[in-house]
Amino acid sequence: SIGMAAAARLSTAGGLLAEREATRLINLLNRLGLPTKVPAGRRRILAAIKKDKKKDGRLIRFILLRRIGSAIIRPVPLNELEEVFDDLR
C-alpha cells in the first residue's frame, strides 16, 4: 500500500493522474487501515531501491497510473522518486 501511494504521487507529479484521484486512492488505503507513509528513513528506503531488480542506472521501472484502474510501466529517475518519498513521510 505504501508503493501504491508512492505510485499515485509519482503519477500526479508526472502529469498522468489527477490530484483528486491520487487523494481518493490514498484516502481509501487509509480507511482500510493500510499504511501509506514510509516508516523507515529516507536513506534506508533509497538504499533498498538502489538494489531493486527493476533499477537500471539512475532509473527504476515503476507502475504508474493514468487513472484508477489504468496503469502503465514507465522508467522514473531516482531523484523524482526521492522527492515523492519526502511527501510520504
Q: pLDDT digits over 48-63, tens only?
A: 777 766 767 778 888 9
> Mean pLDDT, to the nearest integer, of 4-9?
88
**Could you give the CA distance from residue 86 to residue 68 in angstroms, rounded to a whole number?**
23
Element holding 5 (H helix, E strand) = helix 2-13
How is residue 32 written as a grid cell? 482500510
Tell me which residue has cell 533498498: 48
pLDDT at 31: 97
How is residue 54 written as a grid cell? 527493476
Radius of gyration of the chain (CA): 12
pTM comes to 0.77
Question: pLDDT at residue 47 above 70?
Answer: yes
